[in-house]
């Protein structure tokens, strides 16, 4: 015998659950009027700038946001046009993207993966952003890239240096202009060997998270291939502020080089502590002791003050480059804001322009069409010489800068000097070495 | 042996910072019964007092140098500090160079003022509220203070070096008969340890040998009875709050050359210092100092590669492990008063 228990409360409950269930995946079909997520319907198009506005990388995020605002101004025909004047592709006309005026919304990643995903999701679902870009951390980039893949929008990564972003975690909807750990190792090792010799013993202090591991591996592999020996590798907690306990064992080791695989506040503190403990003045194995910082950021180098002097590292771009694209960008940014742009600002500006250009060339905002336009796209005039957006992993291949802390800076921005522009051939690798699978492009709706 | 001596030295300077912050924390708890989670923010404000004085001393006017170009290709505008014009370049450079030690004098009145405003303006309203309320409001205050600092100074660390005379390190090992180059220690960290010892000694002497200190200690032991004697113990406790704030601020000032200050540095120390207070015994001044140095040394030893290779991750949990053991075996802490935290 069966009994039907149909009550008003039961109906309401069932209805509420069913409604919530149906509403849950709305972003997968949100505004999919033209067969893809957030297809622009009016005379404007909205881009989502997801940058750290709070937290330890807030200053870097602020510079990213300045660059995006400048890019939007140039795309809409304002200002002096910046890199649009030097960019090899002439698809963009300064009348927005496909004739639609560019508008933007911003999100705060807080340099936390969950917060970054939440802000990206909000910009896609509530604000109708057709593309998400920005960020200052590999953890955030990988997390937001995965979200954009699910949501069916393009993700143009900001500052992310881990191999994984376009390696094992690569996605069809994600694209990175910034260089990576492998490229740092390949560019930096020969310069180190030339300056310090091939008979060196290195001790690595490495931040205990994904970016630290890939950077240590890249620098270790590249330097060992040139004859260096690695005598110690120690992981340091990401939350560490005083590195004295990690620096002092270096004194007892057989090392004559200390490699600091640290970024941001970690880098500032570990480098400061290493210099305090006299490592720059030390002689070990009959050689001057040396310190290496694989990834430099000018904004962070400022925090370490005079301690960066003479220390080698690598960077994606620097405002002192003299190519026409860099000069145009520095002129444009410097005139608007009163100081030179950082490498984070540069990569974000370029990513916004590259996205807009790809849409123009594709003739559509459909992420799959845009992705096709970006794949194997070769361009120049954006600050790093001829560049390829490789189709196999959506990683840009271009020259890499090896830099050194400047001995006699003339201003607070003049902290690094370019030692070598490593040609792209030297930093190119087989896309299969890091594994991963791009999968298929997802247009969303 | 050299490694052990180095880690003891590391532990002593780490412990100095923990002890100074914990001393203020426990002083506030012992006098006012308030668990002040904004105490780390006071340490951070002290550090930014040093940054501020350094910037004040470096206030400049610009002189155009036609021989050099800026990043836009215009003639370079060279900043010339006003102190150069007032005292001459050599003296002006020396004044700027000694900004951190000079900041001690600058910081004391500011921190006492900040402490007084914090106590009178907010914390006094929470004396009779549960500890959970006190923690929530002071933690919220700490977040507000760090965001205010971030608004004015940015999120990046700001280099604030020690005077030139104290930059570098000396060969401590060679002094005590070890092989040269094996036990190197920075001058400023030794200065920091000695400074901490002086401040801790001064606070103890103040409480032990002055009438004011005697009344405060009596109030800590039995507030009600002291009040019945007609002594305004609340006023004295407010002054102690200001002194505790000044101690935390001074700890921050002298810490700036060790690590470039940033808005988050107070939070980095707060939890550790709170653990130090709990391990030492809530309200116990000698306990805070003892636990500060003890945990600093333990943390240093736990970070040695020889230790982390056997127990990975021990460096990140050692302090909390010790806290758990102490709380399980001796809830009042190493030197805590009977009955406190044993309810």
CATH 3.40.50.2300 assigned to domain A182-315? The reply is yes
Q: Which H/E stretch holds residue A230?
A: strand A229-236
Nearest to A192 by CA among A323, A327, A29, A311: A311
Interface confidence, given as ipTM, is: 0.84
Q: Which H/E stretch holds residue A47?
A: strand A44-51
Beta bridge partners of A404: A312, A417
CA of B141 vs chain A CAs: smallest distance (Å): 17
Residue A379 has pLDDT above 70, yes or no: yes
- Give yes or no for a contact between A66 and A337, defined as CB atoms under 8 angstroms apart: yes
- Give yes or no for a contact between A323 and A385, defined as CB atoms under 8 angstroms apart: yes
Interface contact B260-A299, CB threshold 8 A? no
User: Which runs of consecutive H residues, i.e. helices, occur in A236-308?
Assistant: 244-252, 265-276, 298-304
- Decide whether A44-179+320-393 matches A182-315 in CATH topology: yes
Instruction: Assign residue B243 the CATH number of its domain.
Output: 1.10.3470
Q: What is the pLDDT of residue B219?
A: 84
Interface contact B71-A334, CB threshold 8 A? yes
Q: Considering the domain boundaries, does residue B310 fall inside one? A: yes
Which residue in B305, B313, B314, B316 has the most chain A C-beta atoms within 10 A of its own C-beta, making it the best mutation to test that interface? B305
Where along chain A do its domains lie? 44-179+320-393, 182-315
Q: What is the pLDDT of residue A7?
A: 53
Which chain B residues touch A330 with a CB distance below 8 Å? 71-72
| Contacts with B, A 233-252, CB within 8 Å | 234-235, 237, 239, 241-242, 244-246, 248-249, 251-252
Query: Is A302 an interface residue toward B (CB < 8 Å)?
Result: yes
Query: Is A7 an interface residue toward B (CB < 8 Å)?
Result: no
Indicate the average pLDDT of chain A: 90
Q: What is the pLDDT of residue B339?
A: 52
The four Cα atoms B269, B274, B279, B284 give a dihedral, to 10 degrees, of: 110
Nearest to B100 by CA among A295, A305, A311, A434: A305
Q: Considering the domain boundaries, does residue B101 fall inside one? A: yes
Residue A126 has pLDDT above 90, yes or no: yes
CA of B190 vs chain A CAs: smallest distance (Å): 12
Average pLDDT over residues A379-390: 95
**Is residue A1 very low, low, confident or very high in pLDDT (cuts 50, 70, 90)?**
very low
Q: pTM, whole model, 2 decimals?
A: 0.85
What's the per-residue H, E or C state across B52-117? HHHHHHCCEEEEEEEEEECCCCCEEEEEEEHHHHHHCHHHHHHHHHCHHHHHHHHHHHHHHHHHHH
Q: Considering the domain boundaries, does residue B97 fall inside one? A: yes
Number of domains in chain B: 1
Of A241, A245, A277, the CB nearest to B7: A245
Tokens of A268: 């500032």
Q: Considering the domain boundaries, does residue B64 fall inside one? A: no
Tens-digit pLDDT profile for residues B212-247? 989 988 888 888 888 888 888 888 888 988 999 999
Interface contact B156-A303, CB threshold 8 A? yes
Q: Considering the domain boundaries, does residue B74 fall inside one? A: no
Q: What is the pLDDT of residue A13?
A: 53
Percentage of residues of chain A with pLDDT beyond 90: 75
Q: What is the pLDDT of residue B343?
A: 45
Average pLDDT over residues B176-191: 85
CA of A435 vs chain B CAs: smallest distance (Å): 28
Residue A5 has pLDDT above 70, yes or no: no
For the ranges A236-250, A312-326, B67-81, B288-302, the maximum mean pLDDT occurs at A312-326
Q: What is the pLDDT of residue A31?
A: 45
Lowest mean pLDDT among A319-323, A372-376, B175-179: B175-179
Indicate the average pLDDT of chain B: 88
Max CA separation in chain A (angstroms): 94
Residue ranges making up the domain that contains B192: 2-57+89-329
Q: Considering the domain boundaries, does residue B19 fall inside one? A: yes
Q: What is the pLDDT of residue A10?
A: 53
Average pLDDT over residues A420-429: 96
Q: What is the pLDDT of residue A9?
A: 54
Total beta-carbon pairs less than 8 A apart between chain A and chain B:
127
| Contacts with B, A 267-296, CB within 8 Å | 268-269, 272-273, 276-278, 281-284
Q: Which residue has the higher pLDDT, B27 or B88?
A: B88
Average pLDDT over residues A283-310: 90
Q: What is the pLDDT of residue A248?
A: 87
- Give yes or no for a contact between A383 and A321, defined as CB atoms under 8 angstroms apart: yes
Which chain A residues touch B6 with a CB distance below 8 Å? 248, 251-252
What chain A residue is nearest to B6 in terms of C-alpha separation? Answer: A248
Of B156, B169, B315, the CB nearest to A300: B156
Name the one residue in this structure whose structure tokens are 């002689």. A283
Residue B82 has pLDDT above 60, yes or no: yes
Q: What is the pLDDT of residue B341?
A: 45
Interface contact B262-A340, CB threshold 8 A? no
CATH 3.30.360.10 assigned to domain A44-179+320-393? The reply is no
Interface contact A245-B156, CB threshold 8 A? no
Percentage of residues of chain B with pLDDT beyond 90: 38
Lowest mean pLDDT among A40-44, A223-227, B332-336: B332-336
Average pLDDT over residues A20-38: 55
Q: Considering the domain boundaries, does residue B214 fall inside one? A: yes
Interface contact B262-A56, CB threshold 8 A? yes
Q: What is the pLDDT of residue B129?
A: 85
- A399 backbone φψ class: left, alpha, beta (φ>0; ψ -120 to 50): beta
**Is residue A22 very low, low, confident or very high in pLDDT (cuts 50, 70, 90)?**
very low
Distance CA B66, CA B83 (A): 23
Measured in whole angstroms, the distance separating CA B259 from the mean position of its chain's CA atoms is 12
Q: What is the pLDDT of residue A63?
A: 94
Q: Which residue has the higher pLDDT, B284 or A1?
A: B284
Which chain B residues touch A57 with a CB distance below 8 Å? 155
Residue B97 has pLDDT above 60, yes or no: yes
């Amino acid at each position: 015998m069966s009994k039907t228990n149909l009550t008003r409360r039961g109906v309401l409950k069932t209805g509420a659950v069913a409604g919530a269930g149906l509403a849950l995946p709305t972003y997968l079909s949100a505004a999919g009027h033209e067969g893809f997520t957030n297809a622009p319907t009016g005379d404007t198009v909205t881009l989502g700038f997801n940058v750290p506005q709070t937290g330890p990388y807030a200053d870097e995020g602020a510079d990213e946001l300045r660059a995006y605002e400048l890019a939007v101004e140039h795309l809409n025909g304002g200002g002096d046009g910046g890199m649009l004047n030097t960019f090899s592709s002439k698809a963009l006309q300064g009348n927005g993207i496909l004739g639609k005026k560019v508008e933007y919304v911003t999100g705060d990643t807080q340099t936390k993966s969950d917060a970054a995903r939440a802000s990206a999701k909000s910009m896609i679902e509530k604000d109708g952003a057709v593309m998400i870009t920005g960020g200052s951390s590999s953890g955030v980039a990988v997390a937001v890239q995965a979200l954009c893949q699910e949501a069916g929008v393009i993700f143009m990564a900001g500052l992310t240096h881990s191999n994984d972003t376009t390696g094992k975690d690569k996605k069809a909807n994600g694209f990175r202009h910034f260089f990576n750990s492998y490229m740092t190792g390949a560019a930096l090792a020969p310069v180190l060997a030339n300056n310090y010799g091939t008979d060196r013993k290195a001790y690595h202090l490495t931040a205990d998270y994904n970016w630290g591991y890939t950077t240590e591996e890249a620098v270790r592999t590249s330097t060992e291939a040139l004859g260096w020996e690695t005598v110690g590798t120690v992981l340091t907690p990401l939350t560490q502020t005083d590195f004295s306990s990690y620096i002092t064992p270096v004194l007892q080791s057989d090392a004559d080089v200390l490699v600091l695989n640290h970024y941001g506040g970690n880098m500032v503190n570990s480098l400061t502590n290493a210099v305090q403990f006299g490592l720059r003045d030390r002689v070990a194995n009959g050689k001057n002791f040396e310190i290496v910082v694989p990834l430099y950021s000018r904004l962070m180098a400022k925090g370490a003050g005079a301690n960066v002097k003479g220390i080698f590292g690598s960077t994606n771009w620097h405002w002192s480059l003299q190519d026409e694209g860099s000069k145009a960008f520095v002129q444009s940014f410097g005139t608007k804001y009163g100081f030179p742009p950082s490498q984070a600002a540069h990569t974000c500006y370029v990513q916004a322009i590259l996205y807009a250009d790809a849409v123009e060339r594709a003739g559509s905002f459909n992420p799959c069409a845009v992705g096709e336009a970006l794949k194997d796209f070769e361009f120049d005039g954006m600050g790093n010489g001829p560049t390829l957006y490789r189709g196999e992993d959506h990683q840009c291949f271009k020259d890499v800068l090896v830099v050194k802390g400047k001995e006699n800076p003339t201003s607070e921005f003049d902290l690094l000097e370019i030692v070598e522009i490593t040609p792209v051939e030297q930093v190119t690798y087989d896309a299969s070495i890091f594994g991963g699978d791009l999968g298929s492009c997802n247009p969303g709706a | 042996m050299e490694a052990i001596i180095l880690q003891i030295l590391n532990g002593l300077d780490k412990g100095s910072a923990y002890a100074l912050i914990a001393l203020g924390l426990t002083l506030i708890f012992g006098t006012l019964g308030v668990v002040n989670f904004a105490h780390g923010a006071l340490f951070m404000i002290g550090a930014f007092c040093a940054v501020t004085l350094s910037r004040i001393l470096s206030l400049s006017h610009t002189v155009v140098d036609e021989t050099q170009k800026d990043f836009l290709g215009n003639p370079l505008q060279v900043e010339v500090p006003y102190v150069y014009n007032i005292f001459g370049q050599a003296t002006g450079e020396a004044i700027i160079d000694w900004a951190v030690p000079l900041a001690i004098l600058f910081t004391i009145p500011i921190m006492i003022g900040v402490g007084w405003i914090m106590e009178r303006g907010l914390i006094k309203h929470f004396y009779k509220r549960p500890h959970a309320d006190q923690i929530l409001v002071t933690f919220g205050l700490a977040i507000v203070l760090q965001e205010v600092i971030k608004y004015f100074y940015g999120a990046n660390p700001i280099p604030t070096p020690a005077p030139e005379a104290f930059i570098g390190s000396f060969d401590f090992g060679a002094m005590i008969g070890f092989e040269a180059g094996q036990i190197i220690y920075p001058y400023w960290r030794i200065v920091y340890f000695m400074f901490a010892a002086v401040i801790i000694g001064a606070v103890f002497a103040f409480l032990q040998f002055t009438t004011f200190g005697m009344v405060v200690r009596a109030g800590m032991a039995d507030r009600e009875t002291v009040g019945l004697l007609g002594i305004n113990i609340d006023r004295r406790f407010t002054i102690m709050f200001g002194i505790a704030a000044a101690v935390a601020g001074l700890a921050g000032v002298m810490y700036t050359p060790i690590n470039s200050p940033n808005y988050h540095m107070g939070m980095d120390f707060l939890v550790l210092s709170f653990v130090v207070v709990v391990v030492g015994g809530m309200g116990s001044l000698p306990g805070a100092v003892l636990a500060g140095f003890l945990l600093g040394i333990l943390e240093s030893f736990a970070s040695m590669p020889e230790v982390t290779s056997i127990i990975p991750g021990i460096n990140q949990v050692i302090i909390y492990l010790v806290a758990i053991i102490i709380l399980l075996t001796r809830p009042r802490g190493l030197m805590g008063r009977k009955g406190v935290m044993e309810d």
